[in-house]
Amino acid sequence: MVKALIGLGLAATALIASVAVAAPAGDPVRGKALYARCSICHAVAPGAKSIGPNLAGITKRKSASVKGFAYSPALTRLNVTWNSSNLDKFIASPQKLAPGSKMAFTGMADPAQRADLIAYLETL
């Protein structure tokens, strides 16, 4: 009985620890406001043209996959499916994740702002 309680206690502690280090949940409303910085180059309406690739449906989409956009070799080589984790890395520092990318944006340092922006992108 004591061993079972100790095991249960250790499992609960591990669960609490994993939740404590999880990425902050983003707010899509704040993220939409942050997206205004991105809108200079990126459209979000399906099919809309922009300087950079359209971000509609970016989550769960392969990198360098918007038809008609001339991606850099760096982004073509990246070969990932965009999700919250690699979007977070890219938004934090595009050149660190994909050195040689044409992305002119230097990065967003604040993890909470990145989480908000990604939460918005996930609504598209």
52 Cβ contact list (under 8 Å, min separation 6): 41, 42, 69, 103
Q: Which residues of 85-104 are buried (b: 16+ CB within 10 A; e: fewer)?
A: eebbbbbebbeebbeebebe
* DSSP E strand stretches across the chain: none
Q: Which domain holds residue 65?
A: 2-121
Residues 25-47 pLDDT 10s: 899 999 999 999 999 999 999 99
pTM over 0.85? The answer is: no
Q: How many domains does the chain have?
A: 1
Tell me, what CATH number does 103's domain have? 1.10.760.10
Which residue reads 């499916």 in tokens?
Answer: 81
What is the Cα–Cα distance from 123 to 51, expressed in whole angstroms?
21
Residues 53-99 pLDDT 10s: 999 999 999 999 999 999 999 999 999 999 999 999 999 999 999 99
Which residue reads 């409303």 in tokens?
Answer: 29
